[in-house]
Amino acid sequence: MTDHDVSATAVAEHTSPRRATFELLVVGLGALVVALAQSVLIPVLSILPADLDTSASNVSWLLTSTLLVAAVSVPILGRLGDMFGKRRMLLVAIAALVVGSLITSFTDNIGLLIAGRAIQGASAAAIPLGISLLATVMPRERVGSSIALISAMLGVGGSLGLPLAGFVAEHADFHVLFWITGLAGVVAFVGILLIVPEAPGRSGGRVDVVGSVLLAAGLVCLLLPLAQSSTWGWDDPRIWVLLAAAVVLIAIFGWTQLRIEDPLVDLKALRRPPIVLTNAASILFGFALFASFIGTASYIEAPESSGYGFGSSLLVGGLAMLPSGLMMLLFAPVAAKLIATRGASQTLALGALVVAAGFMARIFVHEALWQVVVGSTVIGVGTGIGYAAMPSLINAHTPADETGAANGLNSLFRSLGSSLASAIGGSILAGSTVIVGTFAVPSLDAYQLIFALCGAAAVLAAVLVMFIPHRPQQA
């Protein structure tokens, strides 16, 4: 047993069951509100150009800026957490959420709103940092269920954000959304500061500035064209120039990481087959979950004359996602038990197959609103199980002093999957439409093609993870 294992065990043994519950609650609240902030604007984007007296293109940057900063901050803060303290970096991430929420709560200026949303993007690192932190400070018997719960918050926050945004859009000003995330962030920050101890076993070392800059530039060049593809169009040369630049920058980044003493990313650990397979499955899961979001609320809100929609309000469209989020939450402890008895790889495969079944239901059973909700809920069950298993696989195959960076990268791969879903799904929906009155809306065939792609992605994820050998979870 290493010194890190001994110190981690000592911290856990001195944690009472009651204190452990409070630690889980405050870290879980932080993870929930961060996930909520990532998706809470999606349902109200269509009304913001008129409210803010600006263009739809400018408003889209309220999402794009958050996505780009999140992609850059997640691996960097994860590595800094391993070096200087996971709790410390978790507090930095939550503080970014609070500051960003404060800025966006008081302004209608599109530039300041984009800046505030960009600052909020740095908070995305809170979820992988929370996972890594709880893995070391929770009692041994509660580690599995705690990790499962925090990981599930990625989906739960998104599912809860849609009905919340729909309710606010119908009854209040959109700034209320930022007041909610800001106040919840303050509660989480204070709770973590007062209750949760720092994780033992900090590695120290120097910050890899060159690697950080290269990774940031590479990720921006990769994700920006994906996020803007529906606005720019795939025939825009900017998309292909940026994607080419991303390939070059990421290749140079990889070359530097293999040649310095304290790399930002340990590529030797990252290329272990179990880590590669888990991250590949994470991309596929991220793709499926985001496609479920864009393929449920807007689907339900489409007019009945479209041939599939129900003409529902923003609130009803958001509420349709609520059972999915609740199932992710309820199945987190179930997933933890499955991981303990069947192994994380089999649990992840099971979750992927459940997701595939949910998407098949969305293709063939959609005559009534409740059928669409049931299909979405089945996807939520599978996503909750799969998301719970991913960090367990990462932790089981990663050195204890690198779990922050490894979980951060895994979260990044999930976000990459969501970005791909947004780009591909947006192109499919825009490319196949039907005319309803004076407006064009996506066709049923377009949605069903997206669902089929997601089902196939989930099946592929199940196949990939079955090649991962079973290994007991590290304490």
Tens of pLDDT, residues 206-244: 778 888 899 889 988 988 888 888 778 888 899 999 999
**Predicted local confidence at residue 29, as pLDDT:** 93
Residues sharing a CB contact under 8 Å with residue 453, sequence separation 6 or more, in sequence order: 291, 424
Buried b (16+ CB within 10 A) or exposed e, 383-409: bbbbbbbbbbbbbbbbebbbbbbbbbb
**C-alpha–C-alpha distance, residues 127 and 130, integer Å:** 5
**Predicted local confidence at residue 392, as pLDDT:** 86
Same structural domain, 242 and 269:
no
Select from 261, 276, 299 the last residue of a domain: 261
**Predicted local confidence at residue 31, as pLDDT:** 92
- Cα dihedral 264/270/275/280 (nearest 10): 80
The pLDDT of 30-42, averaged and rounded, is 87
- pLDDT greater than 60 at residue 114: yes
**Predicted local confidence at residue 215, as pLDDT:** 87
Q: How many CA atoms lie within 13 A of 240 on its CB side?
A: 5
Residue 435 region, left (φ>0) first, then alpha (ψ -120 to 50), else beta?
beta
Select from 246, 261, 276 the last residue of a domain: 261
Same structural domain, 26 and 173:
yes
Same structural domain, 220 and 172:
no
Q: Which CATH number characterizes residue 287's domain?
A: 1.20.1250.20
E-strand stretches of 126-201: none
Q: Which of 227, 215, 216, 225 is nearest to 64 (CA)?
A: 227
Same structural domain, 79 and 223:
no
Same structural domain, 286 and 246:
no
Same structural domain, 161 and 301:
yes
The pLDDT of 357-374, averaged and rounded, is 93
Name the pTM for this structure: 0.82
For residue 473, being part of any structural domain is answered with no
**Predicted local confidence at residue 110, as pLDDT:** 92
The pLDDT of 237-260, averaged and rounded, is 91
Tens of pLDDT, residues 421-474: 878 887 888 788 888 877 788 899 999 999 999 999 999 999 999 888 765 444
Number of domains present in the structure of the chain: 2
For residue 145, being part of any structural domain is answered with yes
For residue 472, being part of any structural domain is answered with no
Q: 260 pLDDT band (50/70/90 cuts)? A: confident
For residue 474, being part of any structural domain is answered with no
Same structural domain, 232 and 321:
no
**C-alpha–C-alpha distance, residues 211 and 193, integer Å:** 30
Percent of the chain with pLDDT over 70: 95
* Contact call for residues 45 and 63 (beta carbons, < 8 A): yes
For residue 471, being part of any structural domain is answered with no
| pLDDT greater at residue 267 or residue 205 | 267
Same structural domain, 112 and 122:
yes
For residue 475, being part of any structural domain is answered with no
Select from 196, 227, 261 the last residue of a domain: 261
Q: Give just the sign of the alpha carbon dihedral 341, 345, 350, 352.
A: positive
- For the chain, what is the mean pLDDT? 85
For residue 375, being part of any structural domain is answered with yes
Q: Locate tokens 């920050």: which residue?
A: 189
Neighbours of 2 (CB within 10 A): 11
Same structural domain, 364 and 243:
no
For residue 98, being part of any structural domain is answered with yes
Q: Which two tokens stand for residue 45?
A: 């984007």
Q: 356 pLDDT band (50/70/90 cuts)? A: very high
Q: 364 pLDDT band (50/70/90 cuts)? A: very high
The pLDDT of 188-194, averaged and rounded, is 95
Q: 362 pLDDT band (50/70/90 cuts)? A: very high
Tens of pLDDT, residues 59-81: 888 888 888 898 888 888 988 88
Question: Could you list the residue range(s) of the whole structural domain that residue 213 is in?
Answer: 209-261
| pLDDT greater at residue 145 or residue 194 | 194
Same structural domain, 32 and 131:
yes
**C-alpha–C-alpha distance, residues 22 and 145, integer Å:** 14
Instruction: Please count the residues of the chain.
Output: 475
**Predicted local confidence at residue 475, as pLDDT:** 36
**Predicted local confidence at residue 6, as pLDDT:** 44
* Contact call for residues 104 and 113 (beta carbons, < 8 A): yes
Same structural domain, 234 and 136:
no
**Predicted local confidence at residue 14, as pLDDT:** 54
Q: Locate tokens 């958050």: which residue?
A: 66
Chain-centre distance for alpha carbon 18: 29
Same structural domain, 242 and 285:
no
- Cα dihedral 408/409/414/420 (nearest 10): 130
**Predicted local confidence at residue 189, as pLDDT:** 97
**Predicted local confidence at residue 158, as pLDDT:** 74
**Predicted local confidence at residue 13, as pLDDT:** 52
**Predicted local confidence at residue 342, as pLDDT:** 87
